[in-house]
């Protein structure tokens, strides 16, 4: 094993030492690093009333600032999409919900990733999205 590989392996072991329970949460710095180098899978809750109006919630955080958004969240390690949907409903809406198990839409990013100066998360341009 090369010195670089040995050094990297040691750094990884040190980072793992900071992660108490990866299924619950990651330290923010570790999460932000992972989100820069690996795709994340998320769910969004598209909740509409009988008149077709979509429920939005207000969010004000350091990554996106204040504004309306569709409730959603990133699927955690060893968590199912259904588990994340229930957790988002509870955390963001204080509600229990029923839902269709099949997704309405599945998209994946392909091609180039462009990071912005406003956020540590990569964003994709419209041409880089592919409906599957």
Closest CA to 35 of 121, 125, 129: 121
| 121 and 85 share one domain | no
Task: Report angle CA 81, 27, 117 to the nearest 5 degrees.
Answer: 85
Domain containing 112: what range?
A: 104-132
| 34 and 66 share one domain | no
Q: Report the alpha-carbon distance of residue 59 to residue 115 in Å, rounded.
A: 22
| 50 and 88 share one domain | yes
Judged against a pLDDT cut of 80, whether residue 129 lies above it is answered with: no
Judged against a pLDDT cut of 50, whether residue 132 lies above it is answered with: no
- DSSP, collapsed to helix, strand or coil, labels residue 4 as helix
Q: Report the alpha-carbon distance of residue 16 to residue 14 in Å, rounded.
A: 5
What are the structure tokens assigned to 86, written together?
């229930």
| 70 and 20 share one domain | no
Residue-wise pLDDT tens digits, 58-107: 988 877 789 999 999 888 878 888 999 999 999 999 999 888 888 887 77
H or E segment and range at residue 32: helix 28-37
pLDDT tier at 109, thresholds 50, 70, 90: low
Q: Report the alpha-carbon distance of residue 43 to residue 72 in Å, rounded.
A: 5
Q: What is the pLDDT of residue 22?
A: 64
Q: What total of structural domains would you count in the chain?
A: 3
Average confidence (pLDDT) over 104-122: 52
| 70 and 53 share one domain | yes
| 109 and 77 share one domain | no
Average confidence (pLDDT) over 111-122: 42
What are the structure tokens assigned to 32, written together?
């932000």
Average confidence (pLDDT) over 104-132: 50
| 7 and 59 share one domain | no
Q: What is the pLDDT of residue 54?
A: 92
Q: Domain holding 57: CATH number?
A: 3.90.79.10
Q: Report the alpha-carbon distance of residue 128 to residue 132 in Å, rounded.
A: 13
| 74 and 86 share one domain | yes
Judged against a pLDDT cut of 90, whether residue 124 lies above it is answered with: no
Residue-wise pLDDT tens digits, 6-49: 888 898 888 888 787 766 677 778 888 888 888 888 888 988 89
| 97 and 124 share one domain | no
| 95 and 46 share one domain | yes
| 58 and 80 share one domain | yes
65 bridge partner residues: 61
Q: What is the pLDDT of residue 90?
A: 94
């Amino acid at each position: 094993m090369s010195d670089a590989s040995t050094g990297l392996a040691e750094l990884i072991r040190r980072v793992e030492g900071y992660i108490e329970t990866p299924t619950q949460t990651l330290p923010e710095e570790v999460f932000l690093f992972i989100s820069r180098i690996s795709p994340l899978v998320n769910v969004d809750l598209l909740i509409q009333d009988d008149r077709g109006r979509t429920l939005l919630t207000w969010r004000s955080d350091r990554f996106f600032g204040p504004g309306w958004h569709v409730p959603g969240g990133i699927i955690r390690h060893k968590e199912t999409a259904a588990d994340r949907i229930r957790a988002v409903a509870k955390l963001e809406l204080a509600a229990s919900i029923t839902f269709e198990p099949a997704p309405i839409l599945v998209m994946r990013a392909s091609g180039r990733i462009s990071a912005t100066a406003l956020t540590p998360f990569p964003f994709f341009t419209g041409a880089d999205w592919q409906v599957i």
